[in-house]
Each structure stands twice: as C-alpha cells, then as structure tokens.
Amino acid sequence: MTREISVRELRNHTADVIAAVRSGERLSLTVNRLPVAEIVPHAETRSPWVRSATLRQIVEEAGADEGLLEDLSDVRGSLID
C-alpha cells in the first residue's frame, strides 16, 4: 500500500521522505488530502540499442527460423513478378 504524505510533511521531513523512497517505498504526495503526485524510487532503464557486435552474436546463437529463407523467396518472387 502506498503511504500518503502531505506537502507540509515533505517540506518539514525531506530527509526522512528521501530515505523512505531510497529504501524502495512508494509515496503519494497530497495537497489538502487529495493526491497530486507519486514519489517513487528511481528505476534504471536499459537502452533498447545494442552494439552491432552484440547483435551479430545474438543472431548467430539464436539462428533464423527454418522457414525464413523460403518465406523470403516467396516474397521476393511475388514482388519481382
């Protein structure tokens, strides 16, 4: 359950709020008892891009679908005609 904290509590106990969030707690910031924002721990995001050498390695290890070349041949033939 998300703990609610008021703007006043945030202002008066900033270090405690930051410590709670650092420890993984999610907080709901309220103004006049109405929620206005979520304070959540920072989550590292991973870039969707990988180096070309890494991509080549993944493709070599996984291999292509066995029917891929046939599908491509069919598509190529239909596009040329």
pLDDT at residue 24 greater than cutoff 60:
yes
Range of the domain at 34: 3-39
Task: Say if 46 falls within a structural domain.
Answer: no
Task: Say if 50 falls within a structural domain.
Answer: no
DSSP-assigned beta bridge partners for residue 34 = 31
Per residue in 68-77, pLDDT (tens digit) is 778 877 877 7
pLDDT at residue 57 greater than cutoff 90:
no
Indicate the number of domains in the chain. 1
Task: Say if 33 falls within a structural domain.
Answer: yes
CATH label of the domain that carries residue 9: 3.40.1620
What integer is the mean pLDDT of 41-50? Answer: 84
In whole angstroms, give the CA distance from residue 21 to residue 27. Answer: 7
Count of CA atoms in the C-beta half-sphere (13 A) of 3: 10
Task: Say if 70 falls within a structural domain.
Answer: no
pLDDT at residue 19 greater than cutoff 90:
yes
